Amino acid sequence: MIGHSYSGALGSERASPLRLPSTIFMCFLSAFLLPSTAFAHIFSFGEDAGFMAGLGHPVLGYDHLLAMVSVGMLSAQMGGRAIWTVPAAFVSVMVLGGVLGLAGMPLPGVEYGIALSILGLGIAIASEKKLPTLVAMIAVGIFAIFHGHAHGTEIPKMALPLWYVLGFMTGTSILHLVGVGIGWATGRMKHGHEMLRFAGAGIATIGLYIMMTI
């Protein structure tokens, strides 16, 4: 049944996930058209960190990476419109969390929230139960607040905030696409469903370990 879901989703919704790569391409293109001085600041790490620092933050942090790839895997496993609406919900609410963090507004239990997101997403993938899309969007949105807040509070003092935010949004979207690709690929394999569930169990185990070691 889920195999049909994969193929049906990727047939009817094929155009939607492609919007993300095109958006990312336009962001890169606009940055390359900037004067060289601005370009150097935007694509730098260090105190004037901009786009590249934001891009690397979700990719280089394994807790963020696991959660964001898991969102893509879960959305592919669910199929249909969830392939793009669930990741879109995560990215959108994550920006809100980032603004709260940048503004210095406290959010209790951020580390536990991030660990819980990994645990919860792993369990959802391992159980292979097709959640209602709205429920999944609300759940990932709650998780995204914690991830976004962590991004926001870690923006360097001298950073270019807007470019940093654009960077971690782009990095997050790329990781979602990686997760969707994993879900799509495993859905076409002979024992792909079992492999995806096994991966979900592994992700949940890592989330539990992180929570126990905080």
Burial of 147 (0-12, 13-18, 19+ CB in 10 A): buried
Q: For the chain, how many structural domains are there in total?
A: 1
Per-residue pLDDT tens listing for the chain (214 residues): 444 444 444 444 444 444 544 444 444 444 434 333 333 334 444 545 678 888 887 888 889 999 999 999 999 999 999 999 999 999 999 999 988 988 888 999 999 999 999 999 999 999 987 889 999 999 999 999 999 998 888 776 656 778 888 888 999 999 999 999 999 999 889 888 899 999 999 999 999 999 999 8
Domain extent, residue 47, equals 2-213
User: d(Cα 38, Cα 194) in Å, to the nearest integer?
Assistant: 48
Helices (H), the chain: 2-12, 19-32, 36-42, 51-60, 62-78, 82-102, 110-127, 133-153, 161-187, 192-213
pTM score of the predicted model: 0.76
